[in-house]
Structure 1
Amino acid sequence: MANAASGMAVHDDCKLKFLELKAKRTYRFIVFKIEEEQKQVVVEKVGEPAQSYEDFTASLPADECRYAVYDFDFVTAENCQKSRIFFIAWSPDTSPVRSKMIYASSKDRFKMELDGIQVELQATDPTEMGLDVIRSRAT
């Protein structure tokens, strides 16, 4: 079903991969890209469970918008192992204005397709989604 605001559909693979990340922890992260010609959001890249947060941030293009989900593991003050699924809207200042507008207008509709997101983050440069930011938002 296409998004009324931007006309973007969500490829079934996006939901499938997200469910695998959420239920089976098959992936550490998923990077999503809007294919303008096909008018849909598709999976661009998946990260293996052993990959680090640095691997994830390195997989985001420096000057193009993307959506991403990241499964963040952490230990609480009570020494409990926990995990949070982050939704990151990556919109670098250097990306084209048209791209920023398309990603911004499609974000809420796309996020609704991914049931189980616990924390949302909007980032325009790498410091806004540094590991320290992720840690503080997780707890």
Structure 2
Amino acid sequence: MTSMMILVEANAASGFAVHDDCKLKFLDLKAKRTYRFIVFKIEEKQKQVIVEKLGEPAQSYEEFTASLPADECRYAVYDFDFVTAENCQKSRIFFIAWSPDISKVRNKMIYASSKDRFKRELDGIQIELQATDPTEMDLDVIRSRAS
């Protein structure tokens, strides 16, 4: 398969529908804080983005990162709580585009071409993070981006 063919397929892929459940669960995370995180997956056969995993409010950041596959792309949102230097409790909603180096080129292309459209569906994202390796989204990175 030529790179041109992959590019054309990836552009067609950006026409994926966003399942209503994605938006509803995101609203629950944002407004009601029902979830700590949500992992989203593109279902190629169904041509849509779906909710793959929901993290309970008590789950840790380590449990969140462990729920991302090592060799496949995903989108995720994470509700990060922190205390400011002024001792104020705050929260930031992160959008994380997980695209591991070892995932297939086609997988990376589909997620990259669909990301902006999908992200627009989730109103209320405050910080975006692109990660190709776990170190690019470790807790120190999240902390520094949140403040």
TM norm structure 2: 0.91
> Contact 2:100–2:132 at 8 Å: present in 1 too?
yes
SS of residue matched to 2:13 = coil
Q: CA deviation at 1:6?
A: 1.7
Q: CA deviation at 1:14?
A: 0.1
Q: CA deviation at 1:3?
A: 9.1
| Structure (1/2) with the larger helix percentage | 2
Q: CA deviation at 1:94?
A: 0.4
> Contact 1:62–1:92 at 8 Å: present in 2 too?
yes
Identity %: 91
- Aligned pair count reads 138
Measure the CA separation in 2 of the matches of 1:80 and 1:7.
42
SS of residue matched to 2:118 = helix
Q: CA deviation at 1:7?
A: 1.7
> Contact 2:23–2:122 at 8 Å: present in 1 too?
yes
Deviations for 1:7-47, whole angstroms, at most 9, x for unmatched residues?
Answer: 21100000000000000000000000000001100000000
> Contact 1:35–1:41 at 8 Å: present in 2 too?
yes
SS of residue matched to 2:140 = helix
Distance 1:30 1:3, change over 3 A: farther
State which structure, 1 or 2, has the greater radius of gyration over its C-alpha atoms: 2
Give unmatched runs, 5+ long, in structure 2: 1-9
SS of residue matched to 2:93 = strand
Q: CA deviation at 1:48?
A: 0.1
> Contact 2:19–2:48 at 8 Å: present in 1 too?
yes
Deviations for 1:29-72, whole angstroms, at most 9, x for unmatched residues?
Answer: 00000000011000000000000000000000000000000000
> Contact 2:13–2:110 at 8 Å: present in 1 too?
no
Q: CA deviation at 1:79?
A: 0.1
Distance 1:3 1:82, change over 3 A: farther
Measure the CA separation in 1 of the matches of 2:35 and 2:11.
27
Alpha carbon RMSD of aligned pairs, Å?
Answer: 1.6
> Contact 2:22–2:50 at 8 Å: present in 1 too?
yes
Measure the CA separation in 2 of the matches of 1:6 and 1:138.
29
Q: CA deviation at 1:4?
A: 6.7
Q: CA deviation at 1:83?
A: 0.1
Measure the CA separation in 2 of the matches of 1:136 and 1:40.
33
Measure the CA separation in 2 of the matches of 1:74 and 1:43.
26
> Contact 1:3–1:109 at 8 Å: present in 2 too?
no
SS of residue matched to 1:3 = helix
> Contact 2:16–2:47 at 8 Å: present in 1 too?
yes
